[in-house]
Structure 1
Amino acid sequence: MKGYDGGEFLDTLAVQVSFTDAVWQNVVALAADDDGRVLVADRALNRIYRYRVGGTPASPPVSADGQLSWTSQASGALVRDIAFAAGRLYLLDDGLGTLQVLDPATGPLDPPLFGYFDELLAEPSALVADAEHLFVIDRADTTVWELPVDLAAGEQLRVNTHLKEILRTPSALTVVQGRVYVADPELGKIIDYEKRQ
């Protein structure tokens, strides 16, 4: 088991760009697409904005396509997290407890809600992606799921097996070079797991 409960930052980078937008009310998640644009999810407005960011601190120039054509797909929808992979934007909706997929050019796929994953994910709380997979924390049972980016039903794998310390309150995750790092505030650790596929 590899757990990290202390240490220091080895790489500290000076911030080159900072930006804000007067329309934001409650930014909860960020992602970047393959063209280097920054995607900003606003929970209060249930909107996702897309920006091209220049190299100097300023209000960002908005791409020609600007706001993505996603708004809440049903009563009670609340964007919680976003990730970009395989040319698509994945949106974790904890108001409806579901995962949605958006094509940046056309908006939500049809159907926008995936029934299979609605059953699998009781309380999805965090999302990250690499080129081939999505990783989702389900806080209901502290499971970290690895899902294929095409969301093929039945292809999910549990990342956090009980060969390591049992997670209590997983809250955030990232994936780097085939390893999944999960932060657990109650344990006071970041625990790493290997990707399953």
Structure 2
Amino acid sequence: MIRVVIAEDQKMLRGALTSLLKLEDDIEVVGETEDGQAAWEVIKKCQPDICLLDIEIPFITGLELAEKIKKAGGSTKVIIVTTFARPGYLQKAIDLQIEGYLLKDEPIDFLLEAIRKVMKGERVISTDLAAALFLKEKNLLTDRETEVLRLAKDGLTTKAIVKTLFLTDGTVRNYLSSAIQKLGVETRQQAIDKAVEKGWI
């Protein structure tokens, strides 16, 4: 029996997935949650074979949760199920060695097949997602701009970035300003979000 935990914040979709999986003789849904923090508690308690994770769930995202699962070092495998064909997300999933990455508009049979394939040790990626990875844009940011944005993403203030990189306040602000301009956005947070989406940080 393949034991599955589902983390999906859309109630109707989560309910539909649970109902469909329960119809399968070889699959058992041992937990379902609407956010990443609750999912992590269920995963630690139930030690499922496979976790079906949406990316944009509250508190802990699907990718952050996948990272925690991988770092814990158990046998739980991860399938990300997402609406977004974003190269940055897929690259992060590949870096984490996630076993499956599927689009939500795939047929249910594709998902069932993916669960069984992953259980056998295979990796499964939706064709459209694989194509998106090949279309990944060249990083427009310099190494320093990337580094400064990555530290900002981690929650560091400009002052903390100055201390970490041994740069002046003005230099850090210039790097942030330049990154914001290159990404065609207006704020530091928008620059972080866009760089993550593109897989540049």
Structure with bigger gyration radius: 2
Q: Which has the higher helix share?
A: 2
Greater RCO, CA 8 A, separation 6+: 2
TM-score (norm 2): 0.28
TM-score (norm 1): 0.29
Q: Which has the higher strand share?
A: 1
